[in-house]
Copies of this chain bind each other. A is one copy, B any other.
């Protein structure tokens, strides 16, 4: 047990350290930011608010005014010019901020702005750039003209509502068929507009060998087809890129989301509009999962309070939160036909299957609703980090780096996979080593019994924790490098492979001990105690970091902001923007849910109140996460996504593991053991029966998963409509040139007449 305690303390400390680090970095960043902007203001000598006729400098809109306020400040005349007549508009919406290094030369900034404004044929991004206060000011504000947004919508394969309200794949040529194409703020969500800007920036490629002005030496050389944005990030010209927040919308969203008193439901569409696909899918899943916890929670309460308990002769009968001892002798409940454990185990298996199948349906419906049903990432430009020999992509016919799939597959299979397995082996080895050392130490302590040996008996735990931490750090590094080296063409594929690697390791780290107790020690009582204390402790830590800390930070942060304003009344909106730490991504959030789901589906039968605790936790988790992403971090870029990606698979795999685990726990159940003892079956026969039951259950699970369609009928019909239209479009593809030739021939003949 001392190992566990140390573990908990270590987890708690790690959490706190993380939070503190975030806070510190946030303030360090803020300070640095403020300092740098002051330096810039000193060097540019242009007091904000004084308008020079040639270019509009930025006034200081109040942060509350958000993008709209900024739009008024950053007047249209100072933006780079648009070539396309339909894109000229009175008001330009600033979407993304590029943070440059302090030492960047004005001519480098000018060159970069020219590239951003240049059209895509000449290697540019086709966007609008604004120098901010000054040509030497270390930031560039970027906006997007209408045509670029529309074309990128088509490139990304987004679906948009047509005049009849059906979501169909957007087509630039068929523009008139779609609704609200004149108002980009209605047509695309804020998150989509901002993602498109990032997408356009990242697809800038040099059209020929050239030099970046203002950067000396080899660092300034750009080869033909080299990714400009990646290069500038590598040579530290661009420090950061992030979407601008819209304070007004954010406040409205916050009111709807976490400030209200309602317990259920989240404004998912608003979240999708403001934060984009991946964030919206995370919160949708969290929402769905919380709902899905109600049946197991009710059952858990029923089993705990109404079914005659195991160990009903125990003293702590009245308090269900105290883990009860499971009697080793089965007499205690041999008069009832089923025990709570059996009910829970069987329910867990069915529940996890049905839950995942229903979520798939929900996910398909959301994906249709948010227009991400026909994404075409594989036909887009490769992600910036993709390496390969330049060549013609056989599918799209574009010149781009190429890398054969089989090579990647070989790297994944023959290098990454063994390395990951090696690390998993090291985790298991560490655990076994710890148990061995602990046994040695405790026997040693028992033999001598001095204070020194008592202290020494903590040594294995400490060594194990240090070992686990070191291993974790090394592994994270290795996983990152391996995934880089695997050289994935698509960002989503890169993310999936990286996530999968970290995920498997984290999962192993979290569950190795519980599996060890359940399958090797075969001690249900210990499992029960450990599970319940793990749950309660991790919930407490979780509540602390996700609800209490944000609250404190908010008060602190709020006053800090106030102080900032009083201190420096000209501090502009963009400054407040950059002062927040970047969003750390959804990995930690998802892994928390996955570990929860693991506790529930794998082991909950020994502790029926798991679902109740998780339910309570999730209700606060939703608010906490919402508050965190809205207030504590910078707004992240969030690509349109059609689902949870690799997380979906992870949850499904857990569903299968749950069948194995529950079968095993059933086998260990005192009630079942009593039955088999009565029947006079040998242990080997009982195990064989359990294995057969397990196989049959897995088969039934597969059949059940197969029987429940992965998407609702109406989504299937809509998807098939899109596919049918696409098929028809191919067959109706009259060669347009032919038609034009015929027409011009007619016209010519008319002329001759």
Taking CB atoms, residues of chain B closer than 8 Å to A470 are none
Mark each residue of chain A from 677 to 703: 1 if its CB lies under 8 Å from any CB of chain B, else 0: 000001110111001000100000001
A15 → chain B closest CB, angstroms: 32
| Interface check A746, CB cutoff 8 A | yes
Say yes or no: is A313 at the interface (Cβ < 8 Å to chain B).
Answer: no
Task: Assess whether A182 is interfacial by the CB under 8 Å rule.
Answer: no
Contacting residue for A413 out of B707, B750, B751, CB 8 A: B707
B731 lies within 8 A of A171 (CB): yes
A157 and B691 contact, Cβ closer than 8 Å, known pairs A395-B717, A405-B713, A732-B173: no
Q: Are A735 and B417 in contact (CB under 8 A)?
A: no
A216 proximal to B (CB < 8 A): no
Tell me the chain A residues, 394-450 only, with Cβ under 8 Å from chain B: 394-396, 404-406, 409, 412-413, 417
A732 near B724 (CB under 8 angstroms)? no
Chain B residues near A734: list those with CB within 8 A. 173-174, 736
Contact of A417 with B378 at beta-carbon distance under 8 Å, contacts A404-B713, A713-B405 already known = no
* Nearest chain B residue, comparing its CB with the CB of A405: B713
What string of 1s and 0s marks CB contacts (under 8 Å) between A725-750 and chain B? 11101111111100100010011001
**Is A551 part of the binding interface, using a Cβ–Cβ cutoff of 8 Å?**
no
CB nearest neighbor in B for A171: B731
Interface 1/0 per residue, A17-43 and B, CB below 8 Å: 000000000000000000000000000
Q: Residue A55 at the B interface, CB < 8 A?
A: no
Q: Which residues of B contact A413 (CB under 8 A)?
A: 703, 707
Q: Is A476 an interface residue (CB 8 A)?
A: no
CB-based contact A720/B378 at 8 Å: yes
Tell me whether B731 and A172 are in contact (CB under 8 A). yes
Hey, which chain B residues are within 8 Å of A378, CB to CB? 720
Residues of B within 8 A of A406 (CB): 709, 713
Q: Does B725 contact A730, Cβ atoms closer than 8 Å? A: yes
A690 CB to closest chain B CB, in angstroms? 9
The reply on A266 being an interface residue by CB < 8 A is no
> In the complex the two chains form, what is the Cα distance from A735 to B713 in whole Å?
30
User: For the complex, what is the distance from the CA of A396 to the CA of B730, rounded to whole Å?
Assistant: 15
Which parts of A353-397 form the interface with B (CB within 8 Å)? 376, 378-379, 394-396
Restricting to A570-605, which residues have a CB under 8 Å from any CB of B? Answer: none
Q: Does A487 lie at the interface of the complex (its beta carbon under 8 Å from any beta carbon of B)?
A: no
Q: Which residue on B lies nearest to A712, using beta carbons?
A: B406
Judge whether B721 and A395 touch: CB under 8 Å: yes
| Chain B hits for A412, CB < 8 A | 707
Give bound CA distance, A683 to B743, whole Å: 86
In the complex, per-residue mask of A588-625: 1 if CB is within 8 Å of any chain B CB, else 0: 00000000000000000000000000000000000000
The residue on B at minimum CB distance from A738 is: B176
A738 to chain B, nearest CB (A): 8
Q: Which one of B176, B404, B687 lies within 8 Å of A684 (CB-CB)? A: B687
Q: Is A169 an interface residue (CB 8 A)?
A: yes
- Bound CA–CA A683/B684 (angstroms): 5
Query: Which residues of the other chain, B, contact A709 by a CB distance below 8 angstroms?
Result: 405-406, 409
Main secondary structure of the interface of A (DSSP, over half): helix
Instruction: Indicate if A660 sits at the interface (CB-CB under 8 A).
Output: yes
Shortest beta-carbon distance from A259 to chain B in Å? 40
Considering the chains assembled together, what is the distance between the CA atoms of A409 and B682 in angstroms?
42
Q: Shortest distance in angstroms between A677's beta carbon and chain B's nearest beta carbon?
A: 14
Nearest-CB residue, chain B, relative to A692: B519
A249 within 8 A of B: no
Q: Are the C-beta atoms of B174 and A703 separated by less than 8 Å? A: no
In the complex, what distance in Å separates the CA atom of A379 from the CA atom of B724?
A: 7
How far is B661's CA from A695's CA once the two chains are assembled, in angstroms? Answer: 12
Asked if A154 is an interface residue, CB under 8 A from chain B, the answer is: yes
Q: Is A248 an interface residue (CB 8 A)?
A: no
Q: Chain B residues near A735 (CB, 8 Å)?
A: 174, 176-177
Verify if A716 is at the interface (C-beta below 8 Å from B): yes
Bound: A683/B688 CA distance, A: 10
Mark A236-271 against chain B: 1 for CB-CB distance below 8 A, else 0. Answer: 000000000000000000000000000000000000
The answer on a CB contact under 8 Å between A417 and B703 is: yes
Bound-complex Cα distance A724 to B155 (A):
11
* Residue of chain B at shortest CB distance from A682: B683
Q: How far apart sit A732 and B154, CA to CA, in the bound complex (Å)?
A: 11
- Are B687 and A733 in contact (CB-based, < 8 A)? no
A709 CB, min distance to chain B CBs, angstroms? 7
Task: State whether A732 and B727 are in contact (beta carbons under 8 Å apart), knowing that A687-B691, A717-B394, A750-B747 are contacts in the complex.
Answer: no
Q: A405-B709, A413-B707, A743-B743 are contacts. A727–B379 as well, Cβ < 8 Å? A: yes
Query: Which residue on chain B has the smallest CB distance to residue A657?
Result: B695
Known: A682-B683, A709-B405. A727 touches B727 (CB 8 A): no
A 612-652 to B, binary, CB cutoff 8 A, 1 in contact else 0: 00000000000000000000000000000000000000000
Chain A 643-677 near chain B by CB (<8 Å), digits 1 or 0: 00000000000000000100000000000000000
Q: Find chain B residues with CB under 8 A from A174 CB.
A: 731, 733-735
Binary contact track A141-173/B, C-beta < 8 Å → 1, others 0: 000000000000010010000000000010111
In the assembled complex, the Cα of A721 lies from the Cα of B751 at a distance in Å of: 42
Within the complex, which residue of B394, B707, B713, B733 is in contact with A171, where a contact is CB–CB below 8 Å? B733
Instruction: Give the nearest-CB partner of A688 in chain B.
Output: B687
Could you tell me if A716 and B409 are in contact, using CB atoms closer than 8 angstroms? no
Docked CA distance A174–B729 (Å)? 11
20 contacts between A and B (CB under 8 A): A154-B731, A172-B731, A173-B734, A176-B735, A177-B735, A378-B720, A379-B724, A394-B717, A395-B721, A396-B724, A405-B713, A409-B709, A417-B703, A417-B707, A683-B683, A683-B684, A732-B736, A733-B733, A736-B739, A750-B750
5 cross-chain pairs, A with B, having the tightest CB-CB distances, nearest first: A683-B684, A413-B707, A171-B731, A729-B730, A687-B687
> 20 extra interchain contacts, Cβ-Cβ under 8 A, other than A173-B733, A732-B733?
A157-B727, A169-B731, A177-B735, A379-B724, A394-B717, A395-B717, A404-B713, A406-B713, A417-B707, A660-B695, A683-B683, A683-B684, A684-B684, A691-B691, A726-B729, A732-B736, A733-B733, A743-B743, A743-B746, A750-B750
